[in-house]
Amino acid sequence: MFRSLIPLLASPGATLAGFQPFPPHIFSPASTPAEQIYHLSIMVLIVCAVIFAVVGGLLTYSVIKFRRRSNDDRREPAQVYGSTQIELAWTVIPLLIVVVLFLTTARVIHGIQDAPEPAGAINVTVIGHQYWWEFRYPQYGVVTANELWVPVSDSNQPTPTFMTLLSADVGHSFWVPELAGKTHLIPNQVNHMWIDPQRTGVFLGQCNLYCGVQHAHMLLRVDVATRADFDRWIREQQMPAVEDPAVAAGRQVFETTACVNCHTIRGTIANGRFGPDLTHFMSRETIGAGVLPNTPENLRLWVQDPEAVKPGCLMPSMNMTPQQLTELVSYLESLR
């Protein structure tokens, strides 16, 4: 019965992240904020589990022990109106539990929110857009989109990434569960968060504050790389766009269609800011903030009609001829 719900298009996510032995979750922290939250949540869970066991146990016991039996004489039981001692006991004990939980929690809040920025920190400005992420590295002059590259951090020589969160339109939220709790991106407000990933790998997340029609497809990838790989990535991103004469026709299509109004390709006349920077587009694994894997076929589908792939996204179809499309896609494929 649900076959009809499965689309004919190849399921886009299947080849995205590669094989994941177990889906990512909040109890597999890979970064200090997530780890501190993890320890706090285990403690809170244990306290709650004990409360549940005690109170639930008493409820279960009373429902069984004090049920009216079939041979009951129908006399009313002793009417007990209350007990001051019991009321005091079950007021004071919960209050003490609250105090302990509160103090533990306050400590973790302070540890995460008020953490000072060390000297070696990477700075990233994250700007939320309807339905994609802009990442700017002010220390390096790098601008990219949707896939955040950061170096792995060592406790001996910490290189955390401190992020400034802004929004170009409505509210968004940055959530990669294995790295940190979420922080919102609110227009007209500057927020901050930090991560210090302790192991390399790809960490998935997505926008977590309803931001409009395609909120569900504003996905996040954080690529945590070794320092060497990160530095290499930075150098590659800093270079202007590859100029391959073989795809000059495609570049011509790009520069004469409205693409240049929204997109930037450094080294060309295109310096639009509304859409993602495409200078090193092929260094990304996905298209459209995670909605399709970055393959030539998918790129052609996307450019031909973004609305068909991600209905409600703000990129229009330019109604190109198949010839223009082929040339354009070849050009985009050259932007390594």
Partner 1 sequence: MVSQSLPHAGEFGREGARGVLWLERAHEWVVTVDHKKIGLMYIAYSLVFLAVGGVEAMLMRIQLAVPDAHFVSPEVFNELFTMHGTTMIFFVVMPLLFGFANYLVPLMIGARDMAFPRLNAFSFWMTAFGGLLLYFSFIGGSGLYGAGSAPDVGWWAYAPLTAKAFSRGHSTDYWTLALLVSGVGSIGTAVNLVTTVLSARCRGMTLGKMPLLAWLNLVMGGMVLGAISPLTAAQVMLCVDRYLGGHFFDTQAGGSAVIWMHFFWVFGHPEVYILVIPAFAFASEIIPVFSRKAIFGYPVMVAATVGIAFVSFSVWAHHMFSVGMPSYGNAFFVFSSMLVGVPTGIKIFNWLGTMWGGKIIFSTPMLFCIAFLFQFLIGGLTGIMLAAAPFDWQLNDSYFVVAHFHYIIVGAILFTIFAAFYYWYPKFTGRMMSETLGKWHFWLFVIGFHLTFDFMHIPGILGMPRRVYTYMPDRGWGELNMIVTIGAFVQTVAVLIFVVNLIRSYFVGQIAGNDPWDAWTLEWATTSPPPPYNFAELPTVRSRRPLWDIKHPEDPDWKYE
22 contributes a contact to partner 1 by CB under 8 A: yes
Token couple for 224? 């945590």
Q: Which of 121, 219, 299, 301 binds partner 1 (CB under 8 A)?
A: 219
Q: Which of 123, 125, 164, 191 binds partner 1 (CB under 8 A)?
A: 191
308 contributes a contact to partner 1 by CB under 8 A: no
- CA-closest candidate to residue 162, choices 51, 204, 153, 200: 153
Strand ranges of the sheet holding 191-195, from the earlier edge strand across to the other edge: 142-145, 132-137, 122-129, 161-167, 191-195
85 contributes a contact to partner 1 by CB under 8 A: no
User: Phi-psi region for residue 212, left (φ > 0), alpha (ψ -120 to 50) or beta?
Assistant: left
- CA-closest candidate to residue 15, choices 286, 325, 305: 286
CA distance 115 to 104: 17
> With contact defined as beta carbons under 8 Å apart, do 132 and 174 qualify?
no
Question: In angstroms, what is the minimal distance from the CB of 324 to partner 1?
Answer: 29
Question: In angstroms, what is the minimal distance from the CB of 41 to partner 1?
Answer: 5
CB-wise, 42 or 248, nearer to partner 1?
42
Residues 314-333 that bind partner 1 (CB under 8 A): none
Residues 103-142 that bind partner 1 (CB under 8 A): 105-106, 108-110, 112-114, 130
Question: In angstroms, what is the minimal distance from the CB of 301 to partner 1?
Answer: 15
CA distance 1 to 53: 41
274 contributes a contact to partner 1 by CB under 8 A: no
CB-wise, 94 or 120, nearer to partner 1?
94
Q: Which of 70, 81, 119, 269 binds partner 1 (CB under 8 A)?
A: 81
CB-wise, 82 or 322, nearer to partner 1?
82
Q: Please, what's the b/e burial string for 75-91 (b: 16 or more CB within 10 A of its CB; e: otherwise)?
A: eeeeeeeeeeeeeeeee
